Amino acid sequence: MTEDNIHKRILKLTLPAIISNISVPLLGLVDSTIVGHMGSSVFIGTVALGTTIFNMMYWLMGFLRMGTTGLVAQAHGQEDQERMKTVLRKALQAGCIISAAMVILQWPLFEIATRIMHPDADTLPQLHIYFSICIWGAPAVLGQYCFNGWFIGAQDTRSPMFVALFQNLVNILLSLFLVYGMGWKMEGVATGTLVAQWSGLALCLIFMRHHRANRPTTAARESTPVRWREFLAVNRDLFLRTLCLVCVTVFFVRAGSMQGSDILAANALLMQLFILFSYITDGLANAGEALSGKYTGAHDRQGLTQCILALFLWGGSISAVFTLAYIFGGEWIICFFTDIPRVQYLASLFLPWVYLIPIVALQAMVWDGVFIGMTYTRGMLFATVGGAALFFATYLYTKEFLGNDALWMAFLSYLFTRGIIQTLLATHKLRFS
């Protein structure tokens, strides 16, 4: 593949993935907007807590998407359609088991969640309604993870994009109808989300049925079986890696909250800038997953090297744009998010740390995509554990004399360390593979 072709391929895969990534949080945003006009702050708090609980639960299950992508991409590179189908079947079987457990154990899960979140007496009954309805969407959500992983592995990021957009449209229309047309209050919001999730799964099934990668080929190739040991090993590493990410995220929020509500608010505001950058670079990482997996499966060392270089070129350009945007527009963004003078002041005080995020986070985010495609999940786990260890060590050592600056320094060291470790591991693996 020529250099021009690889850049076109990356762009073709990245743009739909970015649109899909940006649309994902809209499900929660739509719910928040609807309840914001229902006349009580209780409804707003309920949706905020509810979406946080489910986001955390589903985030831990993200290995179903990532593991499927890597294995399918490699099978695609080998032109092994049967193996591609087998990976999907095993992912769906795992998703069914996990989602069934979530539904069966919904009451213990709710108790654990409420103990962590500590909702007040007014919010608790509404949260119970929201949770007890939305939990039945777990099979649909995890099923979508499996299908989206398969689509990306098959070099198709357009299908997940259309599914995400369709799902949001259903959620908007149905939630508005149920809340304002039928007067269902919280039941309407939760039901709208639930139906939207199952509608998204239905569209996945339609796309899957007619997907070009499922069309029979004349070439008779011997399929390589996918063993449960291989499947579980990949997904185990991804689950443990995600667990480390959750620990860092939760600790970051908790450490900020212990410094007071103003610091907590300022940190949350600035973290939105990191999340915005992540949505864009995750789209690039999705392209990296698909292409690096394809080249790994095809044993195309030259193609894989060209792909990695092109990904970092695009990633560097994106990082430069975001860095400049945060330097010259950061103060305006802060004022757009909040009009509270104290929070504006504190956010501006710690804003310089955000300038560095696109630079220090780039390596980790690009390598994440490449490692998933190569199914080198053990390397991702090692890098994340190393980064998390430095995060906690840096903060605990410096918090007494640096305060909240210590928290941001620790977070940046965590991102940078992940990238450095992954670079060293990738260099070694590519050299001897």
Residue 212 burial class via C-beta count within 10 angstroms: exposed 0-12, middle 13-18, buried 19 and up: exposed
pLDDT given for residue 218 in this prediction? 46
Q: Please give the helix or strand (H or E) that residue 348 lies within, else none.
A: helix 341-373
Closest CA to 93 of 135, 24, 142: 142
Residues 6+ apart with CB under 8 A from 408: 350, 353
C-alpha span between 433 and 296 (Å, rounded) = 10
Residue 144 burial class via C-beta count within 10 angstroms: exposed 0-12, middle 13-18, buried 19 and up: buried
The 10s digit of each residue's pLDDT in 282-312 is 989 999 999 999 998 888 888 899 999 999 9
Spell out, as residue ranges, where the chain has pLDDT lower than 70: 1-4, 24-30, 32-33, 36-41, 44, 213-224, 261, 337-338, 432-433
What are 404's two structure tokens? Answer: 């909240």
pLDDT given for residue 222 in this prediction? 63
pLDDT given for residue 142 in this prediction? 95
Rounded to the nearest 10°, the torsion over CA 350, 353, 357, 360 is -160
Provide the 8-state DSSP code for 224: P
Phi, psi of 374 (to 5 degrees): -80, -5
The 10s digit of each residue's pLDDT in 314-338 is 999 999 999 999 999 888 888 876 6
C-alpha span between 43 and 52 (Å, rounded) = 14
C-alpha span between 224 and 124 (Å, rounded) = 51
Entry pTM: 0.86
pLDDT given for residue 253 in this prediction? 77
Q: Is the dihedral of CA 54, 25, 45, 349 positive or negative?
A: positive
Phi, psi of 299 (to 5 degrees): 55, 40
Q: What percent of the chain has pLDDT over 70?
A: 91
Q: Tokens 């310089």 correspond to what residue?
A: 352
Closest CA to 365 of 9, 12, 14, 1: 14
The 10s digit of each residue's pLDDT in 51-94 is 778 888 888 898 898 889 999 999 988 888 888 989 999 999 99
